[in-house]
Amino acid sequence: MNKKYFKPAALLALAIMSAPALAADAPKIDTGDTAWMLASSALVMLMTPGLAFFYGGLIRAKNSLNTMMMSYIALGLISVLWAVIGYSLAFAPGSGILGGFGFAFLNNVGQADVYPTAPTIPHLAFMIFQAMFAIITPALISGAIAERMKFSAYVLFIGLWSLVVYSPLAHMVWSPDGFLFKMGALDFAGGTVVHISAGVAALVAAIILGPRRGFGKTAFAPHNVPFVLLGAGLLWFGWFGFNAGSAVGSNGLAASAFVTTNMGAAAAMLMWSLLEIFRHGKPTAVGAATGAVVGLVAITPAAGFVSPMAALAIGAIGAAVSFTAIQAKTRFNLDDSLDVFWCHGLGGITGALLTGVFAQKSINSLGSGLIDGNPGQLGTQALAVLTAVVLSGVGTAVIIYAIKAVMGLRPSNKDEETGLDLADHGEAAYHGGEYGSTSGAGPIGSSVTLSVPVNAKAVAGD
């Protein structure tokens, strides 16, 4: 045998004999799971434009583009921040509170390796799925400060908030190193990480920013209810990826979460409509859309831990809590423009706590609640809720006050009166006229009279 070929041939033979052992040790990426997670990522991405339509329809016409842009800009800004450092702070190995820099600039995040809690899909697929959560969470906050925050200040705020609040909380709850993860806190798809954190941030930001000009004297009715329904429909559609995708696989648990997601939304929509009939005499389209979203929020932490019948209860209870709170909030001079705290904050808190009641090991071996003989889970859920409230509340206040000191938060009185579409973007949603409201008690939770054109001929372009 020619000796110059011996060494390579020997190495090839050794590699062939060793291949079965190496393959057994290597992570096995499943194509079906990967396909489902990529599809789920796309579904969750669609939720952010859905949120833009939902919020944009609820607001006055002169601020509709600005409000929609507050969602759309997150797709660009948070995507970049997530890839550069946010994902690493959330999911890289680190302390019980914050991840390290092992995944910065997506180092060690590839198509052939896997993340510990997602062993059947490429690490890149897990990263991009989580990116969509990181994108929509700060966008949710925009509904509370709509019509009265400079766009430049808002962009800086959500960028800082994503790194200072969202990434650490995601690490605590979802990373194997996180202290709440180790304690057994249950948050299947983001009731704590997404909705409570965003809801509390919305409340704090609204308080610091102060009310809109004319608040309490002017009716801020929705300018485009069909947009609201379209947005709610897109959110409901995308939420199947949000919750069922959190099973991190195409499996029975994903099917269970898919069903509970629909049941929670359906029960909440019906409950909200019934409460409107009882209180106002008729159900509204805005109310039905809002109820569905609240139900989706409430079922999110529980989706992969509870039965479909429990999901009906969670959705109905969540709607009742949020509806009642919105009716009572008129006692306070608090302008949370689109009731973000009352819907997402309270809905998330309700869902997180009820997860500790209804979770069953027969559905998910990781979850056992009060009805399953584990009353201690309720205490763990309460601790997770408290952690989210404190971190988001304090973090938001620090960021908002810092931005206020550096560049200011609010537009001039003239710009606010003119509308932020023209003031911040130099364009208008509707050319030829502005919309005014004849009457209406507010965007959510009450009977609403639709806006009508001030000048019908001008709006029509005549």
pLDDT, position 32: 97
Residue found under tokens 């409000």: 67
**Each residue's pLDDT tens digit, 282-303:** 999 999 999 999 999 999 999 9
From 210, 288, 231, 293, select the one nearest 56 (Cα to Cα).
Answer: 231
pLDDT, position 117: 96
> Which run of H or E residues covers position 435?
strand 435-436
State the Cα–Cα distance between residues 40 and 63, nearest whole angstrom.
Answer: 31
Mean pLDDT value across residues 43-66: 97
Confidence band for 431, pLDDT divided at 50, 70 and 90: confident
State the Cα–Cα distance between residues 379 and 6, nearest whole angstrom.
Answer: 67
What is the share, in percent, of the chain residues with pLDDT greater than 70?
Answer: 87
Residues 6+ apart with CB under 8 A from 319: 267, 268, 269, 271, 272, 275, 291, 294, 295, 298
Residue with more model confidence, 216 or 80:
80
Report how far apart, in Å, the C-alpha atoms of 119 and of each of 14, 203, 366 are: 28, 38, 16
Q: pTM for this one?
A: 0.88
pLDDT, position 216: 80
Residue 440 above 80 pLDDT? Answer: no
Coil, strand, or helix at residue 5?
A: helix
Q: What angle do CA 284, 287, 292 make, to 5 degrees?
A: 130
**Backbone CA torsion sign across 415, 200, 237, 220:** negative
Residue with more model confidence, 25 or 422:
422
State the Cα–Cα distance between residues 102 and 125, nearest whole angstrom.
Answer: 17
pLDDT, position 330: 77
State the Cα–Cα distance between residues 400 and 161, nearest whole angstrom.
Answer: 9
Mean pLDDT value across residues 440-447: 38
Residue found under tokens 């607001």: 59
* Domains recognised in the chain with CATH numbers: 26-414 (1.10.3430.10)
Residue type, 335: D
By the 8 A CB rule, do 147 and 212 touch?
Answer: yes
pLDDT, position 27: 62
What is the share, in percent, of the chain residues with pLDDT greater than 90?
Answer: 83
Q: DSSP string covering 120-150, please?
A: TS-HHHHHHHHHHHHHHHHHHHGGGSTTSS-
pLDDT, position 439: 35
Question: Exposed, middle or buried: residue 378 (CB in 10 Å: 0-12, 13-18, 19+)?
Answer: middle
**Each residue's pLDDT tens digit, 364-385:** 999 999 999 999 999 999 999 9
**Each residue's pLDDT tens digit, 452-462:** 333 333 323 32
Confidence band for 25, pLDDT divided at 50, 70 and 90: low
pLDDT, position 443: 41
pLDDT, position 8: 37
| Mean pLDDT lowest among 73-77, 176-180, 426-430, 450-454 | 450-454
By the 8 A CB rule, do 122 and 113 touch?
Answer: yes
Mean pLDDT value across residues 270-290: 97
Locate all alpha helices (DSSP H) within 142-224, ordered by sequence: 151-161, 167-174, 179-183, 197-209
pLDDT, position 383: 98
Mean pLDDT value across residues 47-65: 97
DSSP 8-state class, residue 304: T
Residue 17 above 80 pLDDT? Answer: no
- Could you give the angle at which helices 308-328 and 346-358 cross, rounded to 10 degrees? 150
Residue 73 above 80 pLDDT? Answer: yes
**Each residue's pLDDT tens digit, 332-342:** 888 999 999 99
State the Cα–Cα distance between residues 130 and 284, nearest whole angstrom.
Answer: 34
pLDDT, position 217: 83
pLDDT, position 432: 60
What's the mean pLDDT when you consider all of the chain? 89
DSSP 8-state class, residue 307: -
By the 8 A CB rule, do 384 and 192 touch?
Answer: yes
Phi, psi of 228 (to 5 degrees): -60, -45
pLDDT, position 297: 98
